[in-house]
Structure 1
């Protein structure tokens, strides 16, 4: 039997998730992240039924400079770039530029005649077999294309040697190099998170005839007023940039800025679809509000309601063979979002509501869209390695602890 989040008495008898009890609970949780040494700084913004329901920030954006975490702090969102890329791609789908089940190679011929590695031979070469069907565009939207870093096949080392994310490469360079590597499994047979969204960015360039970053800027970021979301952070904004930290068992150490901000403090040819953007709480909330409003934000329509619904629908038959995806809750995967399909079954599982769709970033950032409650949440921290416990505790603070 499914477990239900603990319910609290709502203020003013309103049926709201974020009442005063929830606000106090979230405050306590964010503060504990800092006081217990899980992060250096944490901030969160929540909207419910079209109105701001919660904001607060604790700790530091830059501990060494004593700059507090704040509402206008700019953070590196890593894979929270992916849903923005998917939104740009689906704007082209709405225009009839492609069909989801069409072969990727129709528009990106590099990916014709792909082969699948079935064994790593003693010689260091692969035993290969042809694909049973072409990679579809749908495959690259749900991480089922077969692109893989399987260590048992040596594909992790092959990907590293190919230097796919060389910052001096273009997306076309990346696609060409990727197409020379074998797949790790047959298209459509397994969910494996990875480079697929960068291939989406390349596909956007092929379909639109425009650089990916320019197309996304004009079709998504500018219409939403996301003026602080970008790959390149100019000098006059860098004092608001959060530092990145790495947590060990005994300490939290700053990752040197020349390493953590190298991508964002220079203009590189590489403009990836799967990572690299920086943003603020309010900027990313505009994107989340567009999604909960079924494609429209402040009279600007980015996508049609049917398209948002398609993106937020589970396109995987099952997730048992899907690496770590089940660790994010009882979820499937849509188009660049995890999609919750069942309620949590016990208090140890990730909290949330059926129909919610979401994603997170390597620095432990998180956002979700909860259509049932008309709620959107954005959580910003900057800590490595990725910490799912932070997400679990934050979700429990928002919805109330799950009762076994």
Structure 2
């Protein structure tokens, strides 16, 4: 796949990596550390201010820089009603921060030569053969469908260009809702069968639309490996990294550490949400690749540090360096101009289950970050990023719906890197 944007991104990443190491010694890219004592105080002040304003119940953050823990703190409550403080061992719902874990599991099979990224998905999953694209309705209200111009590829499901539609107040959205492929009582095969019968929203490869692509990745892992997805990701990623508390199901003994989730209903006003709890306190047939994991700060930091180390940590290899570099390279051609909410993340493209920063912030209102970083977040406003330029990894946990409408992510990033200076 040869596009200008991908070539530039690869060149930038190569420059980052070449600057990081000379022989066996790492070259510091900054004379002074990013997270100094004054920066720690700034982060404290910023995070505490959101709690004091009543816009979040609690928040915690952990940062490693050059293999050392340089920041940890927690403010507010994991459970306001129980007056349970937010702390290091708090278990939270990470929602879409599940996606990079799933992508990592999928890429272990890529390294084994089990598939190529540009293979048609239908080669392994005939459920997705002969896909149709929804183009409207006729005068009687019947959907008008046309053949997809090309098959969905595995690359498409890793970068959200497959064309899968979401639920919404449109005829196609209502078809998706009626199929209910992501019902927790479906298993992954049933999910795939239902999704494969639905028309796509656009032709594969022509737009970026966030949706169930990573759930299909989990199904593909299961199909190719011959092993239940939950077992595969456990054995090939989570257990190898010692991520014992990153789970789809929370046992009784650990539930006292499970944070409540809160909905912000107005300035300084939050209310407890109880609808999501059964997702994690019962065992369901559907093990989603796109969401569903819970984790702790330290557990997820192990995953982030593996990535900043290009696939290995503490003598344990999950992926090869070239695979992590591939995942952290923008995979979106310049021709893909329709990108849903992705531009709201800043000057980014999208790699394999991560947003990838391709340019500095264009203005002071954008999210701060370093060219070459890759990151993602979760629906409950959690966030992590990997900054290979500075050997820095950050994880921030909060349990807030709707997704960050208070500028928490930008404020946290600005606290870490300093105010944005645009030339």
Q: Is the 8 A contact 1:245 1:382 kept in 2?
A: yes
Shifted more, 385-394 versus 209-218: the winner is 385-394
Q: Is the 8 A contact 2:167 2:176 kept in 1?
A: no
**Do the aligned partners of residues 150 and 320 (structure 1) sit closer, same or farther apart at CA in structure 2, a change above 3 Å counting?**
farther
Structure 1 residue 189 corresponds to structure 2 residue 189: no
Q: Is the 8 A contact 2:167 2:177 kept in 1?
A: no
In structure 2, distance between residues paired with 1:363 and 1:245: 9
In the other structure, the counterpart of 2:45 is: 28
- What is the alpha-carbon root mean square deviation over aligned residues? 1.2
Secondary structure (helix, strand or coil) at the match of 1:129 reads strand
In structure 2, distance between residues paired with 1:355 and 1:113: 37
Secondary structure (helix, strand or coil) at the match of 1:22 reads helix
In the other structure, the counterpart of 2:322 is: 306
**Do the aligned partners of residues 113 and 56 (structure 1) sit closer, same or farther apart at CA in structure 2, a change above 3 Å counting?**
same
Shift of 1:345: 1.5
Deviation per CA, 1:46-65: give whole Å up to 9, x if none. 00001101000000000000
In the other structure, the counterpart of 1:154 is: 171
Secondary structure (helix, strand or coil) at the match of 1:57 reads strand
In structure 2, distance between residues paired with 1:305 and 1:227: 24
Shift of 1:320: 3.6
Q: Is the 8 A contact 2:386 2:394 kept in 1?
A: yes
In the other structure, the counterpart of 1:255 is: 273
Equivalent in 160, 166, 169 of residue 186 of structure 2? 169
Equivalent in 325, 336, 347 of residue 353 of structure 2? 336
**Do the aligned partners of residues 153 and 115 (structure 1) sit closer, same or farther apart at CA in structure 2, a change above 3 Å counting?**
farther
Matched pairs, number: 390
Structure 2: segments with no counterpart, 5+ residues: 1-29
Shift of 1:152: 7.4
In structure 2, distance between residues paired with 1:238 and 1:247: 24
Structure 1 residue 297 corresponds to structure 2 residue 313: yes
Secondary structure (helix, strand or coil) at the match of 2:210 reads coil
Q: Is the 8 A contact 1:107 1:207 kept in 2?
A: yes
In structure 1, distance between residues paired with 2:156 and 2:94: 24
Alignment of 1:320-399 (within 5 A): 320-387=337-404, 389-399=407-417
Q: TM-score, normalised by structure 1?
A: 0.95
In structure 2, distance between residues paired with 1:14 and 1:54: 19
Q: Is the 8 A contact 1:120 1:153 kept in 2?
A: no
Q: Is the 8 A contact 2:382 2:396 kept in 1?
A: yes
In structure 1, distance between residues paired with 2:216 and 2:184: 15
Secondary structure (helix, strand or coil) at the match of 2:279 reads coil
Secondary structure (helix, strand or coil) at the match of 2:34 reads coil
Structure 1: segments with no counterpart, 5+ residues: 1-12
In the other structure, the counterpart of 1:402 is: 420
In structure 2, distance between residues paired with 1:345 and 1:178: 38
Secondary structure (helix, strand or coil) at the match of 1:174 reads helix
In structure 1, distance between residues paired with 2:122 and 2:140: 31
Shift of 1:125: 2.3
Alignment of 1:2-401 (within 5 A): 14-149=31-166, 151=168, 153-250=170-267, 251-256=269-274, 259-318=275-334, 320-387=337-404, 389-401=407-419
Shift of 1:157: 1.5
Secondary structure (helix, strand or coil) at the match of 2:365 reads coil
